[in-house]
Structure 1
Amino acid sequence: MKLFKPLLILLLGTGVCSAKPKPIIVAYVTSWTTVMPDPNYVTHINYAFGHVNDSFNGVRIDNSERLKRIVSLKDKFPKLQVMLSIGGWGSGKFSEMAATAENRKKFAEDCLRVVKEFRLNGIDIDWEYPTSNAAKISNAPYDTKNYTLMMQEIRNSIGKKKLLTLASAAEAKYIDFKAISPIVDFVNIMAYDMASPPYHHSGLFKSKFTDGMPIEEAINAHVNAGMPISRLVLGIPFYGHGRNGIKGYIDYRELVKLTGFKPMWDDEAKAPYWENNKGEFVLTYETPESIAIKCDYLLKRGMLGAMYWDYGADTDDGILRKAVHAGISK
């Protein structure tokens, strides 16, 4: 053994013997639903949402009692990671908060207060479109620079042992990823809502039903922007977009109850869709089969794991969340 001990130390020191991190599963759990997530199928929970307060210097939490109940799951599942997601579509006041050093510091200090008070594992920032007015919230040309300053201030406040993550638009725009890469733990790519029928909103590859960007290009865009692929998490929608008799936004638990439509499969995009009796593309959505393919793809690409929006959109028996778990855990 003495002969091999120096070699063992050398191998350990170079990381040869270090274990590859297990893939993660991030589930968004919303404040306005009542279903309690099953920690057997997720590793991380993003509680949606917190917001920048009206004074631009702190955090306001939707339905804080529900957040407490979700955090209590850690009593029986100590490995479960629970984060507060601050932001979301239409959640404003980020631009004003991030615009001054004083507000950034106070906001970051309040993030630490929230982490301590609610026994959180970290903060997830969902200011998804800095500099953009798409969500009809305040914005400014210098938002991207201030976003980086804000994230650094939050990291300084909560420390290195707590998680700091974010949600990112598929195009990898709006955020300086090279600048924030040393600051954040991982990035959740919102690889959905990229189109509406008659196109896929979350197709893996390009096909004739692609209008804009397929997921493969979204991942590549983030890598090219400066984020290591090993710290990218692929977002999967638990809802669909419809037209001509199907709601524009429809949870999976609702759409599986619909009848009179023909399930179709786009083998180029690796994406399902529905046609009506006129042969029209009327629904873009996900199935366990498409999720399995996405999970296989992200693992082969060396991504960190999968994320989905949202837990409450699944069926009661968890058809989609079980598909994600099976795909990531294999």
Structure 2
Amino acid sequence: MKKILIIIAFFCLLVISSACTPDNDDNDGDDPIVPTLSVSSERLSINIGETGKIDASISGTTEMVTMLFTSLDTAVATVDATGLVTAVSEGETVIEVTISEYPDVKTTVTVTVIDAEKEAEQEAQEIIAATIAELDAMIPATLSGNVELPRFMRGYSIQLTWTSSKPSAVSTTGLVIRRKTDQSVQLQAVLKHMKTGIEGAFTKTVTVEKYELRNLAGKKPVFAYYYQGSTLSDDDLDKIDVINYSFGYILNNQLSLTHLTNLANLVNKAHSKGVRFVISVGGWGASGFSPMAANPENRAKFVQSVVKAMNDYALDGIDLDWEYPTRPIGSDPGLPADKVNFTYLVKELREALDAVDQEYLLTAAFPAGSWGANNYYEINKINDCLDYFHLMTYDMISYDNPSRTSHHTNLYASQYASSSTASADSAVKAYVAAGADKSKITIGGAFYGHIGTVSGNTSGNGMGLPSVNFTEAINFARIHTEYLTNPAFTYYFDDVAKAAWLFDGTTFISFDDPASLAFKCEYVIDEGLGGIMFWQLGGDYNGVLVSAIYNALNK
């Protein structure tokens, strides 16, 4: 029994001893714990000259250790002891991050150095190239009208500076002046990228298409006085042969057109329809003629300015509207010498215009009646120089105060004319007698009427009654919309005078209408006159009167 107890005690001691002995794989307490190293991002992109920070951290130890940063290519980027990376040149390098006390513990960060300036330049060059392609597609090879030459493109990121090899054909603002022959023009633009200053160049050679004018041979041309600011429609241009644009002024003895701001565009529009575009100079109340025509030096200055304007704007002639030589007008007192000076002016203009282009028109506006024909002008001496005499066969009313109602634009005299010689027919005969070729004479249509309030026997047709305001004018558009459709007004037509009027017992209106204009056109044909003119296009209503003239001359 004693022996058995000793054996049991031995085995118990052996078990206890085994339980207290550690595993062979466990740390015996002599080897250190190895830390771990990590970064917040394994890639870093920096522009040249800029810096970026590597965010590195150590975990797994409380031991004081030292972190090391090393660039594998310092030509691309350098790094300091704190992990601050400085970009040196375009490229890519690796920054190694290690622990001094544990060399085998490391990680890496790939650093890409970007040349931002180079990239911006490349982007700018790509934008410029795309803009040049856009310009090439935008600008036609053949120009028949104004062309857009933008100052900025692509949201103002590209600035353009234009030059033209022939500014008189295509200006740097895109204004196109067509002429009687084709013109070759090289357009150039310097394109500047506003952010980088990078520049590019655009060049394109374009052809400015010539214009072709209608042949007036054998025609009875229609001359339209056209006042600035009025509408000039394509439909009207189809029925008009010559535009007399009103008015150029005389300033310092020179033709001034600076106030006609849309002149070049209007010329192009007329030419696109084959219509001639003439500048009418002067007008009622305009000063400048008398002192300009008074001596050779002043006339020469004016003539030179006219020739220059013809070239600058591709005009087709000039119309003189001096109302009237020898009469006070504006600030001009009127001189007896005006009569002969007008002759000198016409002759000198003719000579100068013919020296440049014999197709230039030289015309003038004249008052209706024998008094003007004989006392204001030397008709027989200017006949050979003028292409057309525009007889203003309207406003043929009494200007007494009070005046009396009458026709104002009648073809023939009648009991309702202001006088026995107040008619277009009488005016034609007076100018022919004074020396004008009948084939050069145009008579005038009025796209306006005279309106007045009358007193007296208001139960009749309104003719011959006193009116204190009959000199007032009203355009045909208003007559058509406000009076012709008003049932209170009676429409009258004088079959002798070939003239119309309206009357409601109080208001009297004398005017041209399609019927009276048709008779005028018939007269032009029958009498062998040069054509017909009218004042002014802007007074028409939806082309009613222009169409009446066109249809009558082309029936």
Scaled by the length of structure 1, the TM-score of the pair is 0.88
The residue aligned with 1:194 is: 396
Amino acid aligned to 1:30 = Y
Residue 237 of structure 2, aligned match among 11, 35, 39: 39
2:544 paired with 1:319 = yes
| CA distance in 1 between partners of 2:217 and 2:295 (Å) | 40
Seen in structure 2, the aligned counterparts of structure 1 residues 325 and 80 have a Cα distance that, compared at 3 Å, is: same
Residue 228 of structure 1, aligned match among 437, 454, 459: 437
Greater mean deviation of Cα atoms: 189-198 or 261-270: 189-198
Seen in structure 2, the aligned counterparts of structure 1 residues 208 and 228 have a Cα distance that, compared at 3 Å, is: same
Residue 299 of structure 1, aligned match among 520, 525, 528: 525
Greater mean deviation of Cα atoms: 194-203 or 94-103: 194-203
Identity value in percent: 31
Asked which structure has the greater RCO (Cα within 8 Å, sep 6+), the reply is 1
2:264 paired with 1:71 = no
RMSD, aligned CA: 1.9
Residue 227 of structure 2, aligned match among 27, 30, 33: 30
Deviation at 1:161, TM superposition (A): 2.8
Give the alignment of 1:147-226 within 5 angstroms.
147-159=342-354, 160-171=358-369, 172-173=373-374, 174-195=376-397, 198-212=405-419, 213-226=422-435
Deviation at 1:31, TM superposition (A): 1.3
| CA distance in 1 between partners of 2:258 and 2:493 (Å) | 39
**Cα deviation 1:56-81 (Å, max 9, x = unaligned):** 2x11126423221210124522x311
Note the residue ranges of structure 2 that are not aligned, 5 or more in a row: 1-215, 399-403, 455-468
2:465 paired with 1:276 = no
Seen in structure 2, the aligned counterparts of structure 1 residues 134 and 211 have a Cα distance that, compared at 3 Å, is: farther
Greater mean deviation of Cα atoms: 29-38 or 254-263: 29-38
The residue aligned with 2:256 is: 60
**Cα deviation 1:172-211 (Å, max 9, x = unaligned):** 2411110001111111110000116510011111111111
- Secondary structure of the residue aligned to 2:262 is helix
**Cα deviation 1:44-65 (Å, max 9, x = unaligned):** 0000000111x22x11126423
Greater mean deviation of Cα atoms: 301-310 or 166-175: 166-175
> Could you tell me whether the CA contact under 8 Å between 1:90 and 1:137 is conserved in 2?
no
| CA distance in 1 between partners of 2:550 and 2:309 (Å) | 29
> Could you tell me whether the CA contact under 8 Å between 2:444 and 2:535 is conserved in 1?
yes
Note the residue ranges of structure 1 that are not aligned, 5 or more in a row: 1-18
Greater mean deviation of Cα atoms: 25-34 or 223-232: 25-34
**Cα deviation 1:96-122 (Å, max 9, x = unaligned):** 000010000110010000100110111
Amino acid aligned to 2:260 = S
| CA distance in 2 between partners of 1:158 and 1:151 (Å) | 11
Give the alignment of 1:114-125 within 5 angstroms.
114-125=309-320
| CA distance in 2 between partners of 1:325 and 1:137 (Å) | 39
> Could you tell me whether the CA contact under 8 Å between 1:98 and 1:150 is conserved in 2?
yes
* Greater helix content: 1
Seen in structure 2, the aligned counterparts of structure 1 residues 143 and 106 have a Cα distance that, compared at 3 Å, is: same
Greater mean deviation of Cα atoms: 64-73 or 287-296: 64-73
| CA distance in 1 between partners of 2:347 and 2:353 (Å) | 10
| CA distance in 2 between partners of 1:162 and 1:63 (Å) | 23
**Cα deviation 1:218-252 (Å, max 9, x = unaligned):** 11011001001011111110000010189820000
| CA distance in 1 between partners of 2:349 and 2:551 (Å) | 34
- Secondary structure of the residue aligned to 2:304 is helix
The residue aligned with 1:3 is: none
2:324 paired with 1:129 = yes
Amino acid aligned to 1:273 = W
Amino acid aligned to 2:314 = R
Q: How many residues align?
A: 306
The residue aligned with 1:13 is: none
2:215 paired with 1:21 = no
> Could you tell me whether the CA contact under 8 Å between 1:96 and 1:138 is conserved in 2?
no
Seen in structure 2, the aligned counterparts of structure 1 residues 134 and 244 have a Cα distance that, compared at 3 Å, is: farther
Seen in structure 2, the aligned counterparts of structure 1 residues 136 and 257 have a Cα distance that, compared at 3 Å, is: farther
Amino acid aligned to 1:139 = G
> Could you tell me whether the CA contact under 8 Å between 1:31 and 1:62 is conserved in 2?
no
> Could you tell me whether the CA contact under 8 Å between 2:500 and 2:516 is conserved in 1?
yes
- Secondary structure of the residue aligned to 2:407 is coil
Seen in structure 2, the aligned counterparts of structure 1 residues 61 and 133 have a Cα distance that, compared at 3 Å, is: same
Scaled by the length of structure 2, the TM-score of the pair is 0.53
The residue aligned with 1:251 is: 475
> Could you tell me whether the CA contact under 8 Å between 2:286 and 2:329 is conserved in 1?
no
* Greater strand content: 2
Greater mean deviation of Cα atoms: 84-93 or 204-213: 204-213
The residue aligned with 1:101 is: 296
